[in-house]
Amino acid sequence: MNTRGLYVKKIAILLSTYNGEMYLEQMIKSLLNQTYKDFTLIIRDDNSNDRTRQIISKYQQSNKNFVVLFDNSNLGTKSSYEKLLQFAIQKGYEYFMFADQDDVWFPDKVERTLHRMIMMEFQYPKIPLLVHTDLKVSNSHLKVISESFWRYQKLDPRFTDLNRLLTQNVITGCTMMINRRLAELGIPIPEQAIMHDWWLGLVASAFGRIDHITDPTILYRQHAENSVGAKRFNFCYVLKKTSDKVLLSPNIEQARAFYKLYENRLSDDQKKKLNAFVRLKDMNLIKRLFVIISHKFFKIGIIRNLGMILKLSFNYYR
């Protein structure tokens, strides 16, 4: 795929780091090996206490397209990426990608994702857009555990309608690219947002378009320190999730914040769905089930939905 003669776009790759000395160099090298090189890597360290900052500084000295933000504060993953996104918007970038410190990008990831984004913009001009991809799951030594994260987790990337994304996120942040319209509309990211990728997915679903690339573009490394990891979807996984007493409370608080921020932009149908979703906690079991079925607030797969119904039966909301 030759994209260089077709367009040159201002791309910001956003990387938040925290105590990432073990795998960070492999991540950075995979970015330097990209076939599409017209990007800026903007790194913000979240106040690491290992060698992460030294590693970043070493690569910054030899790469003019590296921008580093050191501010000696620990914000956490979501807020750190929000700060990176705000900075990149202010600098005038057109497209934004999100990198995790411990993954490895395939050489054509930027090029392929940008190509899909450009095709989307031809079809859907002047609206918020998001492109995401599948991943290969690997162990800490990059030995592949699964050729597809979506199959590994029994996920379907097509389920990105607002009613589906309210209950379950299918967008992995380290695979996605968003355009400037989505970036500008998606911030500020409220405290109630579960994670930045989920929030941006909701915004894209409500006001724009989401597309996906079925091929993996990343080695998604699993290790003991992952903040959010990939767990194999099987009976034991579902049993553990079902036994957890938190059901949809974080989702409901996220939806409530979404409604509050975007009330003036939402359609009547979207308002109806969001109002129904945020009231689930106040309903009895029969009413909850009726609302979930009528608005199709479903997760992906029969097993997940059975688990959700079991939790509803035991009133697991606190």
Same-domain pairing of 127 and 171: yes
What pLDDT is recorded for position 288?
A: 85
5 in a domain, yes or no?
Answer: no
Global pTM?
0.90
Give the structural domain span for 57.
11-221
In terms of domains, do 71 and 204 share one?
yes
Residues 102 and 171 in one domain: yes
The residue from 189, 221, 253 where one domain ends is 221
Distance CA 21, CA 55 (A): 7
Q: Examine residue 240 and state whether it is found in any structural domain, yes or no.
A: yes
What pLDDT is attached to residue 240? 52
End residue of a domain, out of 176, 197, 221 = 221
pLDDT of residue 79: 97
Kindly report whether the peptide bond that precedes residue 188 is cis, defined as omega within 30 degrees of 0: yes
Residues 26 and 61 in one domain: yes
In the numeric block, which tokens belong to residue 215? 């091929």
Is residue 302 situated within a structural domain?
Answer: yes
Return the residue matching tokens 């079809």: 123
Residues 127 and 270 in one domain: no
Residues 276 and 300: their CA atoms lie apart, in Å, by 20
Packing angle, helices 249-262 and 268-278, rounded to 10: 150
- Are 264 and 201 within one domain? no
DSSP state of 285: H
In a domain, 230, yes or no: no
Question: Over its length of 318 residues, how does the chain's per-residue pLDDT go in tens digits?
Answer: 555 444 556 999 999 999 999 999 999 999 999 999 999 999 999 999 999 999 999 999 999 999 999 888 999 999 999 999 999 999 999 999 999 999 999 999 999 999 999 999 999 999 999 999 999 999 999 999 999 999 999 999 999 999 999 999 999 999 999 999 999 999 999 999 999 999 999 999 999 999 999 999 999 999 776 644 555 545 555 555 544 545 678 999 999 999 999 999 999 999 999 999 999 888 888 888 888 888 888 888 778 777 777 776 665 444
My answer on whether 147 and 200 are in the same domain is yes
pLDDT at 106: 99
What is the C-alpha separation between 266 and 269, in angstroms, rounded? 8
Total number of domains in the chain = 2
> Do 64 and 133 have their domain in common?
yes
On whether residue 79 sits in a domain, the answer given is yes
Same domain, 241 and 269: yes
| Residue where a domain stops, chosen among 187, 221, 255 | 221
Please enumerate, as own/partner, the contacts of 257-263 that have beta carbons within 8 Å and a separation of 24 or more: 257/190, 257/191, 257/192, 257/193, 258/199, 258/202, 258/206, 261/190, 262/203, 262/206, 262/207
| 251, part of any domain | yes
Burial tier of 1 (Cβ tally within 10 Å: 0-12, 13-18, 19+): exposed
- Quick one: 184 and 270 in the same domain? no
252 and 299 assigned to the same domain: yes
pLDDT score for 287: 87
Residues 254 and 203 in one domain: no
Is 57 contained in some domain? yes
pLDDT score of 317 = 47
| Cα gap 220→210, rounded to integer Å | 21
In a domain? residue 6: no
CATH number of the domain enclosing 24? 3.90.550.10
